[in-house]
Structure 1
Amino acid sequence: MNQERSIDLNCDLGEAATPEQLDVEARIMAYVTSVNIACGVHAGDAAVMRSTVQLARQHDLAIGAHPGLPDRDSGGRREQPLSRSFVQDLILAQVGELMAISQAEGLRLSHVKPHGALYNMSARDPALADAIAEAVAHIDPRLILVGLAGSELLAAGQARGLAVAAEGFADRAYQADGRLVPRGQEGALIHDESTVVSRAHSLIHDDTIAAIDGSLLHLHIDTLCIHADTPGAVRLAHALRTMFDDGGISAVRIDHAS
């Protein structure tokens, strides 16, 4: 279709554990338009949440909650059996804490994006997706629910009356069914600059991206994610914004995207 587009560029933050990682998170904010902040369970703590919110405010970024599973050993990336009440308590507690911190800083939370295993499981499990969507709607029905393009989470959010944002990834590989290749599998992470930029361009302009088996996926996205823990993340974020500028793509906050 190759027409001008407006799209959000988001990054998962508040997960840094070293000074070097903190520096990457701070530098990447110059290129993204929205951030998803870890809520102290899979990573981070209240102090990190507050400092990340403050830095995001300096860059005028949309601030979202990034709730995950209570499993710091795996960084919230290990799947586990989950009851509906447990998931809803997780969402309510984590989003509520970041919302309180944001409000204390004079900012409104704009969106919620589950992290890691919670994100991937809710992409394919309608019951889990609905549990998350119901909890988010209970906290604030104005919150945007972010999920994998074509996922059950987006369908659940729409059914609960929430605005949703379909997310795509340029630095992650896709399976033929549209799900992400698990991080532990070879080829799951993509950090070659030209490849990341090419895949992002295809997603944004043509609604397509190649799966790991070579098949072509058709995915319309509202927001593109770049991970702060991808090797060369700041360089990749800069390259993506350059591609946006050169290609007539407007980078807009997730709460301003249409």
Structure 2
Amino acid sequence: MKPQTSTTEVIELCLLIGRIMLQNGAETYRVEDTMTRIAASYGKEEAQSFVTPTGIVFSLSQVEPSKLVRVSDRTTNLSHVTIANNISRKITAGDLDIQAAHEQLTKLDQAGVKFSMPTQIAAASLASGCFAIMFQGHWSDFLPACISGGVGFIALLAFHRFFEIKFFAEFLASLIIGALAFTLLSFGLGSEADKVIIGSVMPLVPGLLITNAVRDLMAGHLVSGLSKGAEAFLTAFAIGGGVAIAFSIF
């Protein structure tokens, strides 16, 4: 049996875990299900939530006021989603009181990315080379794909700091990847420009976003599914536009 908790504490806990999960790449229906389960574990069976990719509306009952949380920054960090899921299971099982749960979630929210920036760049670079080989490129394309992919990922991170609209950053990063790939091939590094470029842009492709859009649509969350699908389409269009301009120049 859980100790008596105030309505405000339950609302703040549900909104905190919902925001953490949504910011780090969780599906809309998973966020809503987690929030309602936590509320039900504290006896709030009538809790209602409405989650979109940019915000959360939550209320414990028809007589309680609703509360809105704006979500503007979103990234992909599935380890944070997993930890938040584990905390929610402990809450619903009664193994974690509301104060301890709030402290753990606050600590998780304040924690940065699990991997350092050089590690992320190295992973993107290596993945680019492996994708180039996977798409039937020659082994001579591995090194230029690694270089182009690593430089493109660095450009993406740098441009994200200067442009509020992330599509500009993805467009410029893909343009740099295309230009660098053709430059490397002109110096004799690599044999097929298309394989090098395809492998290099793969770290920029919104794979999780596309997956979540489909899963939200299948779960009946049409607003979130369509909006995530539109975001994924714009991202893919930005990447394709940058590569197309590189092809037209070179």
For this structure pair, what is the TM-score category when the shorter chain's length is used for normalisation? Answer: under 0.3
**Greater share of helix:** 2
- TM-score normalised per structure 2: 0.28
Larger radius of gyration: 2
More contact order relative to length (CA 8 Å, sep ≥ 6): 1
